[in-house]
Chains A and B, each alone.
Chain A
Amino acid sequence: MPTVAMVTSAFDELATSTAYKKGMPGLRVTFTPHPITGRTTEESNEYLKGKDPITGNPMLEEIIAGLRDKLAEKDKHAGTIEREERPRFLPSDTADNLQQMFHDKLWTDGLPIILPTEEKVKAMLKGTSHAPDEVVGEMRPSGPHEAWKFTVEMVAVNAVMAGARPEYLPVLLAIASTGQTSLVSSTSSFARMAVINGPIRDQIQMNSSIGALGPFNQANSAIGRAWTLISKNLGGSGMPGSTYLGSTGNPLNYGNMTFPEAEENLPEGWEPLHVQKGFKKDESVVSIFSGWSFNTIAWFSPLPQQDVIKNWLTHFFSFGTGSATIIVDPIVAVELKNNGFATKQQFADYLIEKSANPGWLYWSTHEEEYKKAKEDVEPFASYLKLGETAEVPVSRYVKRPPRGAPAGTPPRNPIEVLAVGGGTNTYWSGGDFSHVGSVSIDKWR
């Protein structure tokens, strides 16, 4: 079917590279000025009378030509385009030149790396029993992008670059095996989080105590950093303009919030995350979370902790409005337990039930309900009478199957609760992260 794609000019590189990778390098694309969002009809008419800002051709004539004009011979080709060869080693050079070359090619996170010599990679590979040439999996920047494949050795190369120790390698192989990039290609600047549970936390000396979310521990830091390098170099992510589009970017991408849960300090009855997800307590597991933003809450209040957290949750908003993860210091967990929440899930259910919506957010995301309110349909009419700045007593956090999941998929828990910290104060953090999945680390030892 003759087709012309129309795309705004900010995405010219994305559109042309995607057309190439999908096998249609000659796809007819007409570009409009950027952004189109929020343009009026008059502004749109002006744009359409003008020229494609990338090609310089009159916009409407270009569209017509793309639908009408006979194709060039090269546009009719079928067959396979082989990609550039991937040598196992790079050409030799000085350390300084290689370091700069890695930066120039965007193979780093902008910080110095450990150069992955064969000796260092061999030493890294001692951290797993798996063969270097075993395929670990595939990873892509986001759904529409192509997936790259990678082996155990390739993960080890990136682990060396990040400053990881061989004993961290099973954790990195487990993370890589999920196929989850830490650098999701979206204009919304995603962040990712990796939570480690089980005996490996102590075996590799991770920090779940004071400053666990900060830059104070080699394992926490290097594993998080390696995930970013793996995402760039093995998952094809992180090329601004083509495979990374986050408008502002996200500082959480540097270390990807990688930390172990403080399992030993959980109050009795509060299960560690991996046990909640169906693993045995003595299994080592990494859990991947996806979100955008995080708040650290250092706040004293005469209200009980559950209500401070509930009220924060009501008024917190970001790109993600239907999921949340609360990370409490273990001494807050104990307080919550003493306040009657026998399990993490009981506390999560309390937040799901009791948190509300700010009026402006509710009405701006519920058009149908707004219409009904205006038609005096209850309970929406009563909600609207509360005023647009009031709290609408409807939670944003609903247990339902993930979007697009096949029928029969069990409902997703919209609020996760984790415990980490050194107990220096009764503080906690929260954000819009949702649980993506949990996988065994032991499998990769």
Chain B
Amino acid sequence: MKNCSRRLVSAVVFLSVLCSGVASAAEDQIRVMNPRGIMPAIQQIPMAERPGALDGKTIYIVDTKFANTKPFVNALRDNLAAAYPKTTWIGVDKVGGYMQDDPNLWAEIKAKGDGAIVLLGH
């Protein structure tokens, strides 16, 4: 009888400790608000079809004029011209800095070109 009582007391103590742990864990959980803003949906733009071959085509190499990068831009044009001589490679400078749009150049490329390489960065 004595052992039985002892077991009962132990079980009650164990359960109460367990329950208080669960209650404490639940109390520790807090809910906070989302600090992030609303991102816009993305409008997908279909890419332009590629021609399958570049022979006889004209490709513009558009330099966005980052500082001190002209030797690379010119080397790109020269290397492409040497490796792919059946394609016409035209080097052009975009107007203004890299942030400035150049609608006239884009119109020229659309009218006279078959593709463009736009470069570069720092």
Contact = CB atoms under 8 A, between A and B. Distances in A.
Do A and B pair up? The answer is yes
Interface in A186-208: 187
Interface in B68-98: 68-69, 71-72, 74-76, 79-80, 83-84
Interface string B23-58: 000001111111111111111111111111110000
A34 B122 contact: yes
A166 interface: no
Contacts of A68: 50-54
A119 to B, nearest CB: 10
Interface string B111-122: 001111111111
B122 to A, nearest CB: 5
Contacts of A380: none
Nearest to B99: A143
Contacts of A37: 66-69, 122
6 contacts: A20-B42, A39-B69, A69-B52, A84-B39, A90-B34, A158-B35
A78 B44 contact: yes
B7 interface: no
A24 B35 contact: no
A23 B45 contact: yes
Interface residues of B, number: 55
B110 A86 contact: no
Given A37-B66, A68-B53, 18 more contacts: A2-B49, A5-B119, A6-B120, A10-B121, A24-B45, A24-B47, A34-B121, A36-B69, A43-B71, A44-B76, A45-B75, A47-B72, A76-B46, A80-B41, A107-B35, A118-B31, A143-B99, A146-B40
Given A3-B48, A107-B35, A161-B35, A94 B122 contact: no
A202 to B, nearest CB: 30
Contact of A2 (B36, B71, B100, B115): B115
A92 B39 CA distance: 23
A385 interface: no
Interface string A392-414: 00000000000010000000000
B44 A81 contact: yes
Nearest to B100: A404
Contacts of B80: 60, 63
A82 interface: yes
Nearest to B71: A41
B31 to A, nearest CB: 5
Contacts of A83: 39-42
A77 B44 contact: yes
A6 B31 contact: no
A79 B44 CA distance: 5
A193 to B, nearest CB: 22
